[in-house]
Amino acid sequence: MQHLSSELAGIVERFGEPRIVVLGDLMLDEYIYGDAERLSPEAPVAVVQERHRQHRCGGAGNVAVFLAALGAKVDLIGVCGQDDQGQLLRTILRDAGVEVSHMLAIGGRPTCTKTRLVGLAQHRHPQQMLRLDREDLSPIGPEHEKILREHLRQCLAGSAALCIEDYNKGLLSQSLCPAAIDMARELGVPILVDPAAVADYSRYRRASVITPNRTEAELATGLRMEALPLGAAELARELYARLELDACVITLDKHGMYLLDGPESGTLHPTRPRTVYDVTGAGDMVLAMLAMAISAGATWSQAVDLGNVAGGLEVERFGCVPLRRKEVMAELLPTEATEEKVRSLAALSVELGLLRAAGKRIVFTNGVFDILHAGHVRYLQFARSHGDVLVVGVNSDASVRRLKGNGRPVNPLMDRMAVLAALACVDFVVDFGSDTPLELVRAVAPDVLVKGEDYADKEVVGRDLVEARGGAVILAPFLAGHSTTAILEKLAR
């Protein structure tokens, strides 16, 4: 397994900046977050007090954003409306580094928008409560299709791959989709298709690969998958032969993916168990990773293994949150990931912003952590249990000397931070040079601030900042008989 991980990491290192074309249905995902603390007196429904709104790309736009985050140069081709939502969608895509000049705005056709109401109660994970869709599913028309074909012809020249993302929203017709595949085939460009949930897959004929999930594959073939891997193999063989594919990948949720890249060469690629938080965007992430891997010269088998990793990481997040190469590398080579945990405050702030946007609950604590002992470990495990991400602030050497006197710390700052970073319960480590962590608490803006139970009758620095944001201050129990001072005294005897 370690050899395979190193092999896959080598492919990620070769990703470079391939030019990839994305063709498909564009959507705007709107999230309305709020507190759901009570039921309405008017009906048995939750009352949500709105706190903030967030907008992200969905559909083909999401694939484009994922590709850009992985380092690709992306040309996005699709349609939106001549409305505020369409303009917002362009702005989000442009800010993510996606080329949007080939997006076509159509008057009288609304931008496909999905509005999700997300409630949060008693500081628990956010939960989607309702989704409202605004869309026009009618075909786009021959005059608009002609324009898009010209855009495709321009973009495919010199590209490394074509990703087709079909949600059956009226764009990928029985004429446009085959035309796109034919153009790419003529230029030797691999075509990766995430198909719609439709019974007729003829529009995808001669694609390089399609990536239906189990339900979609059953609908398209009329077959039922009774058991693994034989059931998946039957579905894949039917699609492979009928559509004249180079490969067929059937995604199987917690079971991983089934790959057929030859008439008799099917294999099940399992994935490791994950804490599934939100499946939104997992299929888009898989398609993006497959495209990056194939562009870097990976085999279909290697590309599927990387797709498993990327899809698994994505389901652990709330909503569609792009993965970076370093996150994939940290997953593949976990023994090298501890250095990634030690961050400057500027880098940490960026990372926490992404995690907070994904609905993660941030926990903060701080200390000297001079000689790490069982009490420290128990304390940090307790802190981590109260959220999704644990940030540990560590006093600088000068700060420790001011607080503890000459002779301390015993271990220098970088050694203390490296030991903390090696703990599985610690997600990020950052140093601070002042006598109190007040400014660090202000910058981290945690949802939970943890201190030891000896602070029961003392002022907890940063309490007012955390509680003003609706956060909590929690006191952790100490493990009796364990302290750095006691260890040093024992050594001095």
pLDDT averages per 10-residue partition of the chain, 493 residues: 70 93 96 85 89 88 94 97 96 94 95 90 70 94 95 96 96 96 97 96 97 95 87 94 96 90 89 59 88 96 93 68 78 59 83 83 93 87 91 93 86 90 91 92 94 84 93 81 59 60
**pTM metric for this prediction:** 0.68
Task: Identify which of 148, 17, 153, 4 has the alpha carbon closest to the alpha carbon of residue 72.
Answer: 17
In the prediction, which pLDDT does 424 show? 85
Q: List the structure tokens of 478.
A: 């100490």
Q: List the structure tokens of 14.
A: 């070769």
DSSP 430: E
In the prediction, which pLDDT does 265 show? 83
Q: Backbone phi, then psi, for 248, in 5-degree steps?
A: -130, 130
Compute the distance between CA of residue 160 and CA of residue 118 in angstroms, rounded to an integer: 38
Compute the distance between CA of residue 65 and CA of residue 82 in angstroms, rounded to an integer: 21
Local structure of 362: helix, strand or coil: strand
Cα angle value 162/259/261 (rounded, 5°): 70
Residue spans of the domains in the chain: they are 2-29+55-112+140-333, 337-492
β-pair type (113-120, 127-134): antiparallel
Compute the distance between CA of residue 307 and CA of residue 322 in angstroms, rounded to an integer: 14
Cβ-in-10-Å burial (0-12, 13-18, 19+) of 142 comes to exposed
**Active site residue: 83, 194, 284, 388, which one?**
284
Which CATH number is 2-29+55-112+140-333 given? 3.40.1190.20
284 included as an active-site residue:
yes
Cβ-Cβ contacts under 8 Å for 351 (sequence gap 6 or more): 343, 428
In the prediction, which pLDDT does 320 show? 62
Compute the distance between CA of residue 152 and CA of residue 422 in angstroms, rounded to an integer: 48
Local structure of 490: helix, strand or coil: helix
**Residue 387: CA atoms inside 13 Å, Cβ hemisphere, count?**
26
Q: How many C-beta neighbours within 10 Å does residue 121 have?
A: 14
Q: How many C-beta neighbours within 10 Å does residue 461 have?
A: 17
Compute the distance between CA of residue 450 and CA of residue 261 in angstroms, rounded to an integer: 52
Q: Which architecture, in CATH terms, is 337-492?
A: 3-Layer(aba) Sandwich (3.40)
Q: How many C-beta neighbours within 10 Å does residue 125 have?
A: 14
Task: Identify which of 462, 451, 477, 450 has the alpha carbon closest to the alpha carbon of residue 387.
Answer: 450
In the prediction, which pLDDT does 1 show? 44
Compute the distance between CA of residue 370 and CA of residue 395 in angstroms, rounded to an integer: 9
The predicted-structure confidence for 256-288, as pLDDT tens digits, reads as follows: 899 999 988 889 998 876 555 455 667 899 999
In the prediction, which pLDDT does 335 show? 45
290 with 192: CB under 8 angstroms? Answer: yes
